[in-house]
A and B are shown apart, each in its own frame.
Chain A
Amino acid sequence: MRHFFLLGLLIFSLNSCIEILDDISFNTDGSGDFKYTINLSSSKLKINSILALDSLDGKKVPSKFEIENKIGELIKILNCQEGISDVIISEDYEHYIFKIMLHFENVDFFLTAMQATIESTGDVADGASFDWISWDGRVLVREVPDLNTFKFGMIQQDDQQLMKSGMYTSISRFNNPVENINNPAAVLSKNKRAVMLRNSLFDVFGNPAIMENTISVLPTEN
């Protein structure tokens, strides 16, 4: 009866979507702050309906408690990483918005920490690249992780529709004004210290290179 009732109630329209927002600030000393937000509030009906099931497509659906535990583990792993501090993960189960915030001493520490954390989940394919960012204090070369290297094999037709209407937003912030941006789709803020690049999540999945960007900033005046 439970499943019958759920089946009846669980239909949802396909105009719901996923939004990913990555926001990274670089200081002149090489340190920085990273914020990563996954906003599933538009897919709330779908998530609630899936969480109400025991399994989907033969796979066990985790409970909220299990998700919380998993996130707790991730915090522990991140906090143990060298050069990483102020790790905060926020979970909003009313709107299904998940955020991670942390401070890194330099980009190498950041990348190493992310690799260790992601690999600990076991959700990444062998040989995946974690060389997403390089920053020498003047020139930032960045890309976004190739989401195809994660084990997202479960993404099926309906979910692809979700991604088509989803957005990936990447923001890079600097202390100094930006001098040059090589990706023509990127937009510079009025104060010239932030660059934003937005694309459809579906396109990012299909071609992660569209998020690649090289940004140079003016040197600090002594």
Chain B
Amino acid sequence: MLILKKGVLFVFVLIQSSLFSQKSEDLIPRNASTVFSINNINLLQKISIDELVQYDFMEELHQELFDGSTAGKTLKDAGLDFDQRLNIFYGKDNVYEVTGFSFGVKNKDQLFKVFDDFEFVETLSNGAKRYSSLFNSLIIFGNSGVLLRVQPTDTYLVHMTDSLNYYESEETQWAGETSEWIVDDATEAAVAEAVQEPMEDLEEILTEETGVFKTYWEVRDSIDVSMQVKGMQGIIDELILNKISLKSIDQRFKTQIEKESEGVFFIDNSRNFSNQGGLWYFQTMYPIVNEDLKELYSENYMTGDLYLDSNEVHFDVQANYGDKLGAIYSDMNNNPLNKDFIKYIPADAPAYFIYNVDLRKAYEKAYEILLPILKDKKDNNMVMNLLAIQLLDKLVDKKAFFGAYKGGLFATFNGVKEITTKRIEYEYNEDDFEYTEIETFAQEEIPVFTIGFASERTDLCEMVLSDLSRLTSRIEKKEGYWILKDVILDAAPMYVVCTPKVLLLSNDLSLVVDHLDGYGKGAISKKSVKKIKKSGVLYANLDLNQSLNEFPRAFLDERQKNVLNNLKTKSGSIVLKSELSELNKTDYSLHYNFESSSGKASQFLDMINALFILSK
């Protein structure tokens, strides 16, 4: 008897420990291809929750969590355990789209006071509780919870139901009455397979004998809902009952999520690639080749870590890929710095970036790697396309072509300048208030930019401008440069400078008047050049004080303007750079140095918020 009691106790303890050792990161479904995780322990020690929930990325969760029914309440009220990570995830395959987030639960009563739209559904066999609202399911497992939303992709739904739609249209046109549908056997079977309803049930819906007539949209909605139920059940079975999560099956993600940095992200590009809607033609016409290209992307994923130091936020991103892609990237990205770029970047430029790629080297390597893959295929279209590609490769002068546009470029933001604009005002005659239009002039500020493209054939641009200038007086040759009048917003000129190595486009008059050969000692310092030389394909520098104040806010939405307004109160600088590309990865880093009276955690969250909003 004692042995039996001990045995029961042991099993009980085992179940309890299994239940409560569960962490929020274990509740991310394997279908997720993008995960953003905030390590709450580090963050929330540094910032109040009330402040945290004001951020846009938390507000997004609020909307989802609170479903509009519990306005005014915060995550704090919701009994969340801020000692656990908060993980936001997204994934999509050919059939389903999965979104949601997982979190720690500290007080379940509080949780359901806030989540009052959720109703209890069932207790699963392992003790997890399932609740649901209109579109979401919430599963509480031990001290963690996951909110899930599963929907069939629109493409798949259309694919499954388009024949219904076709017949409905025909019927509607013919009868001119409220539509009824006819369904063929193939569609019926496909629909049944998609929703896995017993055929008899489907027949019951579909046959006229029931007297139930539904439009295409009603049937489609039914299929949509059935698929949601099926998809949700599949994920719950796998994630909660069988404990198969992204963390348990993907070592790369497991390594990433276990890092102690304040925030991490994980993007599996290999799955994102295969689900790209834009590739549908390729996927349809050349499915086998598509599989090969998928293989090319199979090891392609990105990981990122956000760190917070004393007065700096830094963001490390690693882009990982396989050897074949790596070979292309390495050739494209690892190039010596174009010295002609440097001399046209003034030392006092509030912002500049350099992108130093070599497209010819990338083309040559891609041709070398992709051609054998494609040559294996016997498909007629593919053979003809390959033939065309090979002929072009042999006939086109690649040196001339890639000499004209090498791919590398730089851009500088040189502050703002005033330009004179014309406006029309009315002059009223006091006798009878008749009026005449008079032209007046006003000063308006526009930003001053220079963009330079690496090119060894700037003579081609000279040739084009020379010919075009014979057609219009708006293009005029000056000493050492061309002026294109009123080309910027119909109000300001743009200058084109064709140097032997760089084609410059600018609206900076001082560049063409005083610095046609570069800024000389006024160009960026040797120290900066040294840093740029050490970096890889990308280097960007932004002085927050000078540049954000003049950012063109008119083209941002209200939320983005808010972010910018927040950042505008800060001072400091942002440096974004990449390391040299290796055969299997390229490292990028973003350093945000701030000088501000507000807390460093606030600065950190401002940065996350900015990234979140800008990536939306």
Contacts and interface: CB of A to CB of B under 8 A. Distances in A.
Size band of the interface chain A makes with B:
35 or more
Interface string B507-522: 1000000000000000
B491 A13 contact: no
> Ordered nearest first, which 8 A-B pairs have the shortest CB separation?
A48-B489, A11-B552, A194-B433, A41-B424, A41-B423, A8-B449, A42-B423, A190-B431
A45 interface: yes
Contacts of A12: 444-446, 552, 554
Interface string B394-422: 00000000000000000101001000011
B490 A44 contact: yes
Interface stretch (A52-60, A100-108, A139-147, A208-216): A52-60
B557 A58 contact: yes
Interface of B: 411, 413, 416, 421-426, 428, 430-433, 435, 437, 442, 444-447, 449, 451, 488-492, 507, 550-555, 557-558, 561
A95 B442 contact: no
Nearest to A172: B433
A156 B562 CA distance: 13
A10 B430 contact: no
Interface of A: 4-13, 15-16, 19, 21, 39, 41-42, 44-46, 48-50, 52-53, 56-58, 94-95, 97, 156-158, 169, 171, 173, 189-191, 193-194, 196
A5 B451 contact: yes
B444 A15 contact: yes
9 contacts: A10-B552, A11-B554, A12-B554, A42-B423, A44-B490, A48-B491, A95-B422, A95-B424, A173-B433
Nearest to A9: B488
Contact of B433 (A4, A7, A171): A171
Given A12-B444, A57-B558, 5 more contacts: A11-B446, A11-B551, A45-B491, A48-B490, A194-B432
Q: Which of A11, A21, A58, A158 has the most CB of B within 10 A?
A: A11
A52 to B, nearest CB: 7
Q: Which of B416, B421, B451, B550 has the most CB of A within 10 A?
A: B421
B431 A7 contact: no
A7 B432 CA distance: 45
SS class of chain A's interface: helix, strand, loop or mixed? mixed
Contacts of A52: 489
A50 B556 CA distance: 12
A192 B476 CA distance: 54
Nearest to B553: A158
Contacts of B552: 7-8, 10-12, 49
A5 B494 CA distance: 12
Given A44-B491, A158-B554, A8 B445 contact: no
A45 B421 contact: yes
A11 B416 contact: yes
A78 to B, nearest CB: 23
Given A9-B488, A11-B416, A39 B446 contact: no
A173 B492 CA distance: 41
A9 B492 CA distance: 10
B430 A8 contact: no
A13 B555 contact: no
Given A13-B444, A39-B424, A194-B433, A49 B554 contact: yes
Given A11-B552, A12-B444, A194-B433, A5 B449 contact: yes
B555 A7 contact: yes
